[in-house]
Structure 1
Amino acid sequence: MAAISPSRPWSLASWLPGFLASWLPGFLETVDEVDLPLLEAWHLGRVYEKWGTHDARSLNSAAIRLKVSSSELTAIVRSVTSEDDILGLIGQDPDLAELLWHTCEFDLTRGDQGEPVRLSSGRALEGIAGDFTGGTFFLCGERGTNRPVLYASSEGQAGLIGRTLTEALEIMVGLPSWWDCLKFSGDGDLTAMQSAAEHLARDLVGDQPEIGAQRAKIATTLSLDLAPVPVLLARLRDAVAGTTPDFVLTVETGEQYETLFGSFLPSRVPSWCS
């Protein structure tokens, strides 16, 4: 357990970081600011205490925020949101990987698009995952920068689906039918996407009644913020709309992938009209 500075009286706030370091090995990541009565832990790295001679221990894989106010203690645990931490956590947890595959077809073992592709802007592309239809998820840009996520289908459509990996996963987990919402979007109409989402949600729950619990488990493990469906749809629409001009995917011949926005409307599906 961490040492307490002899010059500082013992208190719950001074003792708690060391206790957590012992209690959460492999789960707490960094304590980079302590300002009594508020304790905050952020960013991957070593654990340390600014105000004392605290004997910090090196831990990883999560962040924890603590607030000590009088006799009340509130702890909020949040996972790391960097790309490497998210992908590393998925890669190290077979159960989580299986849930992501089953829920939103995000599989880290399928990161190869199958043909040479590049972005219109010339930015770097890194394939990180795929789905069972042959589509690929890419991170766009150089490591160390905020990299948006681009999805390329096996049928020649491609576009951004999130400004970051975290946002893309929030959309995919919170809206497992995101691809069909785009397909039946009437070229990107948010009202059409909302209508499609409502029909698809009913179909999904009927086919997979356990889907709600699975999504909640993924969200908890990765600390994803599953916003209401209308919010997720707006984020998805805005991401796809932001594909041009810099994130248009092309093949070696210069031919461009088509937009992810489909021209169909929900009324095209007979069972949704009954």
Structure 2
Amino acid sequence: MHSLITAIVEHDEAARFLAWPGDFDLDRGDHVENVHLASGEALEGFAGDGAGGTYFFCGDGGEERPVLYADSEGGAALVAIGLPELLRLLLVAPWWRDCRAFTEEESCELAAEYREDMPDLTARRDRAAEALGLALPSEAAVLARLHQVATGTGKDFILVFTAEDEPYDPLIKG
């Protein structure tokens, strides 16, 4: 099976879209501090963002593993079950970190701001999705799924700052 990480590396346009506006870079997988999951499950940083946040695969396996995002300010949330779900979120709603209410109205307002700076956003997004072989859901669907994963399944994925044995704060509240 061809991995999505390999597909991102091989498709320049998809990698560029994920880098911006997705703020997702496969070269930034090292987190700024030593962390672990409270459950003791494996944690593998595989990508990051420009502000020092890190995306981690949780547990053992491949790209189907749950994905936890930790920012550089001590907040974390489970954001997807598997890399395909994460990439759909980043492609459809790259502004997800700024969503607090998880409503379609809020997402539309944020999308409008992005489209002011990037009028070809939708065309670039669609080409990236096609290159990665991903069908895209609606903004409302990806944001509802993000909220569901973070506040449901995510309760079992507590990131801990190892040096102080202190849990990160939830980025997304139920």
Alignment counterpart, residue 158 of structure 1, candidates 63, 68, 76? 76
Q: In the alignment, residue 194 of structure 1 is paired with which amino acid?
A: E
Q: 1:109 to 1:262 in 2, by over 3 A?
A: same
Contact 1:113 1:136 in 2 (8 A): yes
Alignment counterpart, residue 225 of structure 1, candidates 118, 135, 142? 135
Post-superposition Cα deviations, 1:21-53, rounded to whole Å, max 9, x if no partner, equal: xxxxxxxxxxxxxxxxxxxxxxx3xxxxxxxxx
Q: In the alignment, residue 116 of structure 1 is paired with which amino acid?
A: N
Alignment counterpart, residue 112 of structure 1, candidates 6, 30, 36? 30
The equivalent of 1:258 in structure 2 is: 169
- State the 1:144 CA deviation: 4.8
Aligned-partner Cα distance in 1 for 2:115–2:61:
38
Using structure 1 for the length normalisation, give the TM-score: 0.59
The equivalent of 1:215 in structure 2 is: 125
Using structure 2 for the length normalisation, give the TM-score: 0.92
- State the 1:179 CA deviation: 0.8
Q: Does 1:205 align with 2:123?
A: no
Q: Does 1:141 align with 2:59?
A: yes
Structure number with higher helix proportion = 2
Q: In the alignment, residue 147 of structure 1 is paired with which amino acid?
A: R
Aligned-partner Cα distance in 1 for 2:161–2:94:
28
The equivalent of 2:148 in structure 1 is: 238
- State the 1:92 CA deviation: 3.0
Contact 2:11 2:131 in 1 (8 A): no
Segments of 5+ residues of structure 2 without an aligned counterpart are: none
- State the 1:203 CA deviation: 1.2
Aligned-partner Cα distance in 2 for 1:169–1:115:
25
Q: In the alignment, residue 130 of structure 1 is paired with which amino acid?
A: G
Aligned-partner Cα distance in 2 for 1:261–1:112:
22
Post-superposition Cα deviations, 1:115-173, rounded to whole Å, max 9, x if no partner, equal: 11011111101111011111001111112584111110111110111111101110111
Aligned-partner Cα distance in 2 for 1:214–1:256:
38
Q: Does 1:88 align with 2:6?
A: yes
- State the 1:180 CA deviation: 0.6
Aligned ranges for residues 9-24 of structure 1 at < 5 Å? none
Q: 1:162 to 1:218 in 2, by over 3 A?
A: same
Aligned-partner Cα distance in 1 for 2:64–2:26:
20
The equivalent of 2:90 in structure 1 is: 172
Post-superposition Cα deviations, 1:179-235, rounded to whole Å, max 9, x if no partner, equal: 111xx22xxxx4xx3332121011111121111111101110111121111111110
Segments of 5+ residues of structure 1 without an aligned counterpart are: 1-43, 45-60, 62-84, 264-274
Aligned-partner Cα distance in 2 for 1:144–1:180:
29
Post-superposition Cα deviations, 1:50-93, rounded to whole Å, max 9, x if no partner, equal: xxxxxxxxxxx4xxxxxxxxxxxxxxxxxxxxxxx111121233
The answer to which structure, 1 or 2, has the higher relative contact order (CA under 8 A, 6+ apart) is 2
- Alignment length (residue pairs): 172
Structure 1 runs (4+) deviating above 6 angstroms are none
- State the 1:256 CA deviation: 0.8
SS of corresponding position for 2:77: strand
Aligned-partner Cα distance in 1 for 2:62–2:125:
29
**What is the root-mean-square deviation in Å for CA atoms of aligned residues?**
1.8
